[in-house]
C-alpha cells in the first residue's frame, strides 16, 4: 500500500530466522521483486493511479546506483555484523523522517487523502520541475534533486538487496512531502526495473575472493509468489486507507526493524 514492495521485511527475516546474511541473500531478496511488484504495478495502472513520469525518473537515477551498491555490499559489508548495522541505521533514519510530523510539537500539514478515488493528474513535466494535482491539492519537486536522491537510494537499495525503488517511497514521502498516492505505483515500477539489473549484477559480476553471489532462486521464488498476491491486494486497498494511517504504520514498522538491528550494537558498547 505504501510502495515499498514488502521486501524490507524479507531481509530481516532472512538474517534473523533463516540465518542467511551473505551477499547472495541480497540477490535472493531481489528475486521477490521480480515476481511480486508486477502485481502492484498492474493494479495501480488499472486504477489510473500510476505516475509514469516519476517512475522513469526513479529508474534513471537508481540504476547506476544499484551497480555501485553491489560493490559496497561485497567489499565493505560482506559480514553479518556490519550489514546489520548498516540496515539498522537506514531504517531508523527513514522512520525518524516519517514519524517526525506526528510529534506533539510538529506543525500539522494538510495532506490529500487518497481515499475516495481522487483524480491524479500531471500538470508540469520539464527538466526543472515535475508537478501533480491530486484532487484539489498540488504537489511538485525539483527534477535534478529527485535524480540525485534516486542515485543515492539506488546505492542503498543495491547494497541492501531491495532494489532502488523500494525505499524511494519513504524518501519521497518524508523528504519531498509527496502523498503516498503519487509515489507508491512509481516506486514499485522503479523497484522492478532496478531488481532486474540487481539480479544480473549479483549473478554475473565476480566476488573479490572468487565465485559469485548468485541468488537462491527457489527461496526467492517462494517469497515472490506469496508477494504477488499481497502486492495486488495492497495496491487495490490503498485508496481506502487514510494517508496519515499509512504513514504512521510505515514509520512504526521501520522504527521497530531498525531498533532490532541496532540494539545488539548498543549493548556491545563499553560505557
pLDDT, tens digit, 9 for 90 and up, residues 15-56: 778 888 777 887 888 898 898 888 888 888 888 778 899 999
Q: Residue 213 contacts by C-beta under 8 Å, 6 or more apart in sequence?
A: 22, 23, 24, 26, 27, 73, 74, 202, 203, 207
Q: Is residue 258 situated within a structural domain?
A: yes
Tell me if 120 sits within 8 A of 132, measured CB to CB: yes
The DSSP call for residue 133 is: E
Question: What is the pTM for the complete model shown?
Answer: 0.76
Side-chain-side CA neighbours of 240 within 13 Å: the count stands at 5
Where does the pLDDT of residue 145 fall: very low under 50, low under 70, confident under 90, or very high at 90 and above? very high
The per-residue pLDDT for range 215-260, each reduced to its tens digit, is 889 998 999 999 888 888 888 888 888 878 888 888 888 888 888 8
Report which secondary-structure segment, H or E, holds 31: helix 23-46
d(CA 165, CA 172): 10
What CA–CA distances, in Å, run from 174 to 169, 179, 207?
8, 9, 35
What is the count of structural domains for the chain? 1
d(CA 100, CA 62): 26
Q: What is the domain range of residue 230?
A: 7-103+120-266
Q: What is the CA radius of gyration of the chain?
A: 18
Give the lowest-confidence range in 18-32, 98-112, 172-186, 252-266: 98-112
Q: Is residue 226 situated within a structural domain?
A: yes
Q: How many CB atoms lie within 10 A of CB 218?
A: 10
Helices (H), 101-216: 143-160, 168-175, 180-204
Q: Is residue 111 situated within a structural domain?
A: no
Q: Is residue 110 situated within a structural domain?
A: no
d(CA 78, CA 1): 32
Where does the pLDDT of residue 128 fall: very low under 50, low under 70, confident under 90, or very high at 90 and above? very high
Average pLDDT in the chain: 81
pLDDT at 271 over 90: no
Report which secondary-structure segment, H or E, holds 220: helix 217-237
Q: Is residue 196 situated within a structural domain?
A: yes
Where does the pLDDT of residue 163 fall: very low under 50, low under 70, confident under 90, or very high at 90 and above? low
Residues facing residue 133 across a β-bridge = 121, 138
Question: Could you tell me if residue 139 is left (phi over 0), alpha (psi between -120 and 50 degrees) or otherwise beta?
Answer: beta
Amino acid at each position: 500500500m505504501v510502495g515499498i514492495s514488502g521486501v524490507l521485511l524479507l531481509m530481516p527475516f532472512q538474517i534473523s530466522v533463516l540465518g542467511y546474511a551473505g551477499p547472495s541473500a541480497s540477490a535472493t531478496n531481489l528475486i521477490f521483486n521480480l515476481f511480486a511488484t508486477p502485481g502492484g504495478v498492474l493494479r495501480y495502472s488499472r486504477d489510473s493511479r500510476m505516475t509514469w513520469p516519476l517512475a522513469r525518473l526513479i529508474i534513471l537515477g537508481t540504476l547506476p546506483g544499484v551497480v555501485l551498491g553491489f560493490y559496497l555490499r561485497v567489499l565493505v559489508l560482506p559480514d553479518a555484523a556490519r550489514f546489520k548495522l548498516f540496515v539498522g541505521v537506514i531504517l531508523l533514519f527513514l522512520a525518524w523522517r516519517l514519524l517526525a510530523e506526528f510529534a506533539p510539537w510538529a506543525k500539522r500539514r494538510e495532506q490529500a487523502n487518497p481515499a475516495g478515488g481522487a483524480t491524479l493528474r500531471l500538470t508540469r513535466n520539464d527538466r526543472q520541475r515535475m508537478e501533480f494535482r491530486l484532487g484539489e491539492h498540488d504537489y511538485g519537486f525539483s527534477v535534478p534533486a529527485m535524480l540525485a536522491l534516486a542515485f543515492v537510494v539506488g546505492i542503498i537499495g543495491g547494497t541492501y538487496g531491495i532494489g532502488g525503488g523500494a525505499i524511494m517511497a519513504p524518501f519521497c514521502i518524508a523528504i519531498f512531502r509527496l502523498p503516498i498516492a503519487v509515489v507508491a505505483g512509481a516506486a514499485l515500477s522503479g523497484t522492478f526495473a532496478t531488481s532486474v539489473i540487481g539480479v544480473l549484477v549479483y549473478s554475473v559480476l565476480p566476488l573479490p575472493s572468487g565465485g559469485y553471489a548468485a541468488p537462491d532462486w527457489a527461496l526467492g521464488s517462494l517469497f515472490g509468489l506469496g508477494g504477488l498476491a499481497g502486492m495486488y491486494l495492497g495496491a487495490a486497498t490503498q485508496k481506502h486507507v487514510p494517508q496519515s494511517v499509512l504513514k504512521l504504520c510505515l514509520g512504526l514498522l521501520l522504527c521497530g526493524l531498525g531498533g532490532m538491528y541496532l540494539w545488539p550494537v548498543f549493548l556491545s558498547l563499553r560505557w
